[in-house]
Amino acid sequence: MTAAGARAIAVRCDVTVDGDPERAVAAARERFGVVDVVVANAGFGVVGPVALLTLDDYRRQFETNVFGVLRTVYAALPDVRRRRGRIAIIGSVSGHIATPGSSPYAMSKFAVRALAEALGHELFRSGVSVTLVSPGFVASEIRRVDNEGVLRDHTRDTVPKFLIMPTDRAARQIVRAIARRRREVVVTGHGKFFVFVHRHAPWFTSAVIRTFGVRSRGEPKR
């Protein structure tokens, strides 16, 4: 595919399947010759109170959001190291602040935040940068995917529209942060605000969550 002078290929890849990310990287290498940047973006959200969830719910969440990220990193790391390139890991504001009913998703995003921090230290001397991307509400399908990872097209997005950043605007911010080799970028104004407040006054965000009953989104209906 070509558009605006750029070239792209689409390769089917399931990050929960061993070997799939390697095949995707090999296809990119064959088509373009080199791999300079890798973005570990695949993810979805399992939601619900801990008492109503099962260990399998948590395993399913981590298989995509954590081990899927690791498979992607392992697949591309040799190429990126040779090119002194860039790795971007898509986290979330939920990787900084956990709300009731969001423990599987928040746990997975806390985990990849730790991975990005550790990996950044490990790869610093090799010239590879690691950027953690922590989005707030961005226009996407994630809020219409149920706990099994199935897209429910008819589900209405309950997040107020004024809080949702358009995808293209978010993408520009992410690309700019990766190009500048930033350690982390928090995408969306409300995301920046809540991450800042929670870092400096965690007692305040806890009080707000408990006082106003702030909760995660509900699971899309089957």
Q: Residues 209-220: pLDDT tens digits?
A: 999 878 777 787
Q: How confident is the model at residue 153 (pLDDT cuts 50, 70, 90)?
A: confident
pLDDT for res 60: 97
Catalytic residue (one of 20, 65, 105, 109): 105
Please say whether the beta carbons of 36 and 121 come within 8 A: no
Backbone angles phi, psi at 101, to 5 degrees: 85, 5
Q: How confident is the model at residue 93 (pLDDT cuts 50, 70, 90)?
A: very high
pLDDT for res 29: 95
Domain borders along the chain are: 38-212
For the chain, give the mean pLDDT. 94
Please say whether the beta carbons of 20 and 64 come within 8 A: no
**Residue 222: pLDDT above 70?**
no
**Residue 177: pLDDT above 90?**
yes
Q: Residues 96-119: pLDDT tens digits?
A: 999 999 999 999 999 999 999 999
Q: Residues 185-194: pLDDT tens digits?
A: 999 999 999 9
The candidate with the shortest Cα–Cα distance to 132, out of 120, 145, 147, is 120
The candidate with the shortest Cα–Cα distance to 173, out of 119, 131, 113, is 131
The candidate with the shortest Cα–Cα distance to 154, out of 63, 66, 220, is 220
CATH code of 38-212, in short, is: 3.40.50.720
Residue 58 appears among annotated catalytic residues: no
Q: Residues 120-145: pLDDT tens digits?
A: 999 999 999 999 999 999 999 999 89
The candidate with the shortest Cα–Cα distance to 136, out of 215, 193, 201, is 193
Average pLDDT, integer, range 43-48: 95
Residue with more model confidence, 159 or 96:
96
